[in-house]
Structure 1
């Protein structure tokens, strides 16, 4: 299937871009998941939203938006390629992303995912961990089987590098959450690895698999990495201020657990009275009470944490868009990618 993006399409409906990407990728994603052992497939099917806890079809729950595969397909189009060039790469990217979600929910003690109990709550921690492990292994297997456009192993190298970086980023996230002092630069480095690496890989794989030049691959990877940092900024905002009915995830856990997400880091470094009071709360050697969590949320905003992070998200989005204009990409797809970038980092706060 060839994805077509004309000017009207790009300017009017990012949701149309996502929907078309989903239509292209989902069948191949289901085929890949069906190759897993039955016991693992049951957990994965539930996690993706395809089945309920008893293994019955749940056709109205189709999982996430598959933003990263959309970046892969759009990057392929940006260098003159087609969706058929990059389906397996896009599926692999989504499998790696879902692996991180399965493990993140356990590490963050998040009991909800996409408006339902998280997989580890339903099937237990061991089963959810194994399901996550199976997904990244399957992703590498798919990449090793992709022979349509030989890339001298660079595609697998890109994905392995992303896996290495996102693991390092997750480890840094755990470390930073347990420390009393965290700098903004440390947070940015963590976000670049934890979230930016896979988004960058998604873009790079699209360009590489479609015959993009070295410069195009490099700049598109930078697009994804900047977008990933912006995405993580917004995710940190959503973790404190979002409506759980919109996100399908618990809101406020980060504050209750005194996790140093970017709005908190910014507030603690603000030198304000509100920041000083927040630091006293965050030095308590326990989870916060509901009243304390409400007060902490107020202090984060009063200290400027919320507004500063919003600006960071805007800045990284603009840097992503600037990278799109640095080398010869198809103009109509540059417009689509710019629209997608602005939409992703302007999610409800």
Structure 2
């Protein structure tokens, strides 16, 4: 990958996010709390020397698709900003609902300022999505962006509803789980790719193909993340060992394990799900059971399947466009995911 090119776009994206935040913020301190969540200020709400931001992967894909297809960069930056603010709205509310206390190594908004104010912070980020879109000069692109992003919002909420509902259920099928992550995770990626393409070409058929590529990447991204939540190396991920097992998260590997278990084994898994506190013995049982059922192999195979589908569609454009940055971002992210495994 041309790291300098990617870093250049990430810097441009970060500057555009801060520019839009400045444009649509007031002197009410809640705006500084949104800046805390975005990684720009510390707990004392003063600027950080080293920004603690997320990966900005969604706006990055939006911008790279737009530039690959010869689009106008400013349009992609505005749309990418809106997408990133939408993503962060969902994270703030998700942290409240999941009771997550840390994100990117820092206390979450609700943990510092309380749930009520965290809801307000999430709502403010949500509002910023639409304020940013008013920067678009093309009525056609504004209309298309509103249509796609409002549909994405609906699916994000549906996905979060399903995810929370799964916490109290034992009979979750793999098909249901894949539908949930399609809505909660993959949809935002597919929208990033779609609007990146449409903002460059205004061609629906071409944009739909890139939408499919984004969906494939999003499914790969989530299933691989599920795998890393169990088999990731703590020294590389910065997370506790077997974090998803300790938290009793019903991710793809655990649901696959449950689907492959006998009735007696299912009862044992259900007992663990029902405990207030998971024990070392429970973790040992799950790890042994996961190994015997070859769940790690099945999970990474499915992640690879989605990656390969998206990657092949992307390569179909290599004779028409210079897809080198997109291709290398795909490849490097694939390599990163597999490098995070416990040896």
Match of 1:7 in 2: none
Match of 1:32 in 2: 20
Cα 1:150–1:59 change in 2 (3 A) is farther
SS at match of 2:201: coil
SS at match of 1:89: helix
335-344 vs 180-189, greater mean Cα deviation = 335-344
Shift of 1:235: 1.6
> Could you state the TM-score of these two structures normalised by the residue count of structure 1?
0.87
1:188 aligns with 2:187: no
Shift of 1:275: 5.4
1:303 to 271, 293, 307: 293
Where does 1:245-324 land on structure 2 (aligned, <5 Å)? Answer: 246-248=236-238, 252-271=242-261, 276=266, 279-324=269-314
SS at match of 1:331: coil
74-83 vs 195-204, greater mean Cα deviation = 74-83
237-246 vs 95-104, greater mean Cα deviation = 237-246
Shift of 1:325: 4.2
- Residues 178 and 259 of structure 1 are in contact (CA less than 8 Å); yes or no, is this contact kept in structure 2? no
Distance (whole Å) between structure 1 residues aligned to residue 4 and residue 230 of structure 2 = 29
Higher relative contact order (CA 8 A, sep 6+): 1
Where does 1:1-349 land on structure 2 (aligned, <5 Å)? Answer: 12-13=1-2, 15-34=3-22, 35-37=24-26, 38-148=28-138, 150-151=140-141, 153-244=143-234, 246-248=236-238, 252-271=242-261, 276=266, 279-326=269-316, 330-333=320-323, 335-346=324-335, 347=337, 348-349=340-341
Shift of 1:151: 2.3
1:258-307 per-position Cα deviation (integer Å, ceiling 9, x unaligned): 22110101111124699547524445353423442343244334322222
> Could you state the TM-score of these two structures normalised by the residue count of structure 2?
0.89
- Residues 25 and 91 of structure 1 are in contact (CA less than 8 Å); yes or no, is this contact kept in structure 2? yes
SS at match of 2:17: helix
Distance (whole Å) between structure 1 residues aligned to residue 273 and residue 103 of structure 2 = 29
1:14-70 per-position Cα deviation (integer Å, ceiling 9, x unaligned): x44542221111111012222234322221121122111001221213301210011
Could you tell me which runs of 5 or more consecutive residues in structure 2 were left unpaired when the two chains were aligned. none
269-278 vs 77-86, greater mean Cα deviation = 269-278
24-33 vs 319-328, greater mean Cα deviation = 319-328
Shift of 1:310: 0.8
- Residues 170 and 270 of structure 2 are in contact (CA less than 8 Å); yes or no, is this contact kept in structure 1? no
88-97 vs 144-153, greater mean Cα deviation = 144-153
- Residues 80 and 210 of structure 1 are in contact (CA less than 8 Å); yes or no, is this contact kept in structure 2? yes
266-275 vs 128-137, greater mean Cα deviation = 266-275
1:85-134 per-position Cα deviation (integer Å, ceiling 9, x unaligned): 31100111111111121122222222111111222212221222211111
**Number of aligned pairs?**
336
